[in-house]
A and B are shown apart, each in its own frame.
Chain A
């Protein structure tokens, strides 16, 4: 394909893609939902209570047909449903997106020991079915200590699993008579004693961490809530962001989101609770740290609060700093070298197992799992006979269910210096699983690279044949400093002509102004034509009147006085209408005379016209006495009147 044509096709494709993406986005926004299921505990003893929460957030539709999973093995002690709802309005009020949520909270009493794999909960939104994550709850016999709770995919560490403070008995606080309200789901505040906040009856900021004593490198989920009585009128303005010195931080909330409120009662007062910030913080070293207090300005008083509505009040609130004690990893069983906290697996592969000596081969290691992935480092392997460059590293960090993890990919370029089989040892590192408190290793399988062909000489200390312009030996000690790694992947693109260099580009830019100019020109020409048509109207009317008078003569010759006077009347009125530019057919003769005078016609002419019309009307309906001579005289008079009317210049029209 020729370069211009290719560019045109590319531009068209980009335009289509952008438009499709915009349309698609609109459609996607029209109907989507996320369903999340979490439990207060995933390991309990028989007789314990588990709070199971299923939250569905739907955009563009209402959550319907909530189907909880099969709960055999548990007694449902209570069931609560909360349905907070919000609306988002787009630019100019053009788009209106309904966001609805439904939170089902079930208190389950474990009856029988066993491992219960709960199937996904299902909801129906706008006719489409959405499913939640799966969840496994382990129930041990009464009296036994439940095993440590493993982190489950989709279970937010800062959500109900780790975030709900529990009492020594492991029972939810409300079963002990403490005041609790339905929880707000994954983004809702934890129930129980009010920690991380200074209570205020109007509004206060609460900082909640899911762990106070994490290990170094273990994820701590920090959530900052705003409690407001009666809601807020606009988004709170942060005057100081929460600090997290000594932590590596990953934000868990999307940059653009609707500020949703849940309800919670504190000390008998109902508050609306908003999530202001949520992030994962990984302690970088052992010691005492502080999550600094957030400071905000808010306008309290919900605009749509019909019952508890109060005038807007500007409030300033400070959060409470929260202390975190980061523990060092347990010494017992700790392997030597670097240990990464989290659950990881490592896979390694070669782009080809055999290569010619001197050819480059790519060794790829993929580290997957949950934890502070960006902290994972793998030393470049040292293998005799293989020259290995520093790796290219790519990250794909995700946080499903608020658990930070993803994939970190290392790519090494290796060049065999001599023929033979090279054993690449397992690539990996030591890990520490904070949930189980155990050390492990995330190692790949060992690989073998076979090189064939003559041995390549070692890199020449001085190039035998210098490249053009090169000065060998110069700055040798500085080479490599500040440069990125070699790029081993390339699309090998061909040159393309820039759009702006295409011959059609100036014309394309000029099209819009030229089109505008043409439109304005056409509009002006149309106006002028209309004006010209307006000027010629009286001339045409006079011509028409003469024709009608000539036609009237034929009636007169035939002795048809009724037809004659009818034509005369029509001719006269047509000339008057054309001259005045307004209809006169509905006016009485007296009113017509007045109107003609109003438009500046001499009284004498107006009177004559009225008289002539009156005479014609009279003769028309009593035409028996009209002689041909009389009709001939009438023709002469009307002809003269027509010419006088044609010369008459009316003043500007006013409403008749």
Chain B
């Protein structure tokens, strides 16, 4: 009996070890990668730091601090479009991150200065559109929980109105119902905005100066240029090309590697 129990315990430990070992090893490797990337950054070897952070991201890490560091490395290396993209990704995971917001502002300003030096003057959009800015500091999951809670409260109050007879309680419920209803609608709209329900296409950043083309083909007619760091929406994808819509309403095709979508796919 004791032997059987002992055997079962040993087997459990072995199986657990087999199950946990790969994930532990993977964690160690990722820690090493992160330390190596930081060390490269500290040495001022930004290309190595970028490649190492990118490898970390490709290995499945989706961490706001890693995104921030990668943005920082790109910024230090002068690739401000990519810096903006990674700072935006950091913000997406950690809404309200003041340093990521400052990073976006600094990289956008750097792009503006470079453009002004090249063309005499330039206009840069430094702030996101109002709808986006309004929900930027709130996490998607927070809004989702809020929507669930407000839905339960609002319809609960409506249900209570059907059964509660006390005059004071009914008055309180009548006051609470419209307030909760409005809050529910606002939270739902905010969640919709956050998950892109009202936008046609995924949010993206243009990573390099490139030609906007009429078709997903390098020989297609150019419709004009897009600028590094510009915000866009990806409305269609086709054979490694992305059809984007820019803030002014311009649309066209860009090579996929020139477009960085905020939500990693």
Contacts and interface: CB of A to CB of B under 8 A. Distances in A.
B62 interface: yes
A454 to B, nearest CB: 14
Contacts of A479: 75-78
B93 A493 contact: yes
B78 A470 contact: yes
Given A469-B81, A494-B60, A513-B151, A459 B44 contact: yes
Interface string B72-103: 10111111111000000000010000111011
Contacts of B69: 486-487, 490
Contacts of B43: 358, 387, 415, 417, 456, 459
Given A489-B65, A516-B158, A463 B72 contact: no
Interface stretch (A144-152, A290-298, A321-329, A499-507): A499-507
Interface residues of B, number: 71
A481 B75 CA distance: 10
Contact of B264 (A471, A488, A495, A523): A495
A475 B80 contact: yes
B162 to A, nearest CB: 7
A80 B196 CA distance: 68
A487 B65 contact: yes
Interface in B4-63: 27, 30-31, 34-36, 38-39, 41-47, 50-51, 56, 60-63
Contact of A490 (B63, B105, B113): B63
A552 interface: no
A413 B264 CA distance: 30
Nearest to A359: B39
Interface string B143-182: 1110110011011101100100000000000000000000
Contacts of B44: 387, 459-460
A483 B60 CA distance: 26
Contact of A494 (B46, B61, B64, B152): B61
A502 to B, nearest CB: 9
B47 A464 contact: yes
Q: Is the interface of B mostly helix, strand, loop or mixed?
A: helix
Contacts of B145: 11, 14, 499
Among B46, B103, B113, B147, the one with the most A-chain Cβ atoms within 10 Å of its Cβ is: B46
Given A360-B39, A465-B47, A490-B66, A484 B78 contact: no
Contacts of B251: none
A512 B181 CA distance: 13
B211 to A, nearest CB: 16
B63 A491 contact: yes
Interface string B114-131: 100000000000000000
Contacts, number: 177
B155 A493 contact: no
Binding site of A, secondary structure by majority: helix, strand, loop or mixed? loop
A519 B158 CA distance: 11
B162 A467 contact: no
B159 A359 contact: no
Contacts of A480: 76
A128 B80 CA distance: 61
B47 A492 contact: no
A476 interface: yes
Contacts of B264: 495
B31 A492 contact: yes
B140 A488 contact: no
A484 B103 contact: yes
A463 B46 contact: yes
Contacts of B155: 512-513, 515-516
B106 interface: yes
Nearest to B60: A494
Interface in B161-217: 162, 191, 194-195, 207-208
A481 B46 CA distance: 16
A47 to B, nearest CB: 59
Contacts of B39: 358-360, 415
Nearest to B39: A360
Nearest to A497: B141
Given A11-B145, A505-B144, A490 B77 contact: no
A630 interface: no
A508 interface: yes
A516 B180 CA distance: 15
Contacts of B50: 467, 470
Given A359-B35, A481-B106, A484-B99, A474 B61 contact: no
B79 A470 contact: yes
13 contacts: A360-B35, A469-B81, A471-B79, A472-B77, A474-B114, A475-B113, A479-B75, A482-B103, A482-B106, A484-B103, A500-B195, A513-B155, A516-B156
Given A463-B77, A493-B93, A498-B144, 11 more contacts: A360-B38, A387-B43, A389-B42, A460-B44, A467-B51, A469-B79, A475-B80, A488-B38, A492-B56, A492-B66, A496-B62
Interface of A: 11, 14, 358-360, 387, 389, 413-415, 417, 456, 459-460, 463-476, 478-484, 486-496, 498-501, 505, 508-509, 511-513, 515-516, 519-520, 523
